[in-house]
């Protein structure tokens, strides 16, 4: 398993770029551009989790090693309390759907599932701000 280290830093983390991407992803969903929305919203969620874990590393003054795979990152988010186990199940359903669309086994993403990914990204950032 490939890992990436998130170094501890002493600067405040900026969530604004991620928030802008979440809004962009939501707009794409509203336009029915589910494929583009899936990419933007997953990237937003992943960035929110990575930022949140980096902040946790700062708070404990120890870097946190992150998985280099989407499934591994989802599991780590649960392990560190960033998301609930039920949320990980949503993420794994999304990743399965993403793989099926990419492989041509499915034609379109589920808009409700995309909205859920958007919500999880937003909530991750909100909870990070409350720590």
Q: pLDDT digit string (tens) for 91-102?
A: 999 999 998 988
Q: pLDDT digit string (tens) for 45-90?
A: 999 999 998 888 877 777 788 888 888 988 899 999 999 999 989 9
What sign results for the dihedral spanned by CA atoms 82, 85, 87, 91?
A: positive
Domain-embedded: residue 126? yes
Domain-embedded: residue 4? no
Domain-embedded: residue 32? yes
| Domain count of the fold of the chain | 1
* CATH code for the domain of 38: 1.20.120.330
Q: Which residues in 63-85 are b (16+ Cβ under 10 Å) and which e?
A: ebebbeebeebbbbbbeeebbee
Say what the pTM is.
Answer: 0.83
Domain coverage including residue 49: 15-130
Residues counted in the chain = 131
Of the candidates 87, 94, 105, the residue with the CA atom closest to the CA atom of residue 70: 94
Domain-embedded: residue 92? yes
Contacts of 75 (CB under 8 A, 6+ apart): 67, 88
CA distance 122 to 22: 7
Domain-embedded: residue 5? no
């Amino acid at each position: 398993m490939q890992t990436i280290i998130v170094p501890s830093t002493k600067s405040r983390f900026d969530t604004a770029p991620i928030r802008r991407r979440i809004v962009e992803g939501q707009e794409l969903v509203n336009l029915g551009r589910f494929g583009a929305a899936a990419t933007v919203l997953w990237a937003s969620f992943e960035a929110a989790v990575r930022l949140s874990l980096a902040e946790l590393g700062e708070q404990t003054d120890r870097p946190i090693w992150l998985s280099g795979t989407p499934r591994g990152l989802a599991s780590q988010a649960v392990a560190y309390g960033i998301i609930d186990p039920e949320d990980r199940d949503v993420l794994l359903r999304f990743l399965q759907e993403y793989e099926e669309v990419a492989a041509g086994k499915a034609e379109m993403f589920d808009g409700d599932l995309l909205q859920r990914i958007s919500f999880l990204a937003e909530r991750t950032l909100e909870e990070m701000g409350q720590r």
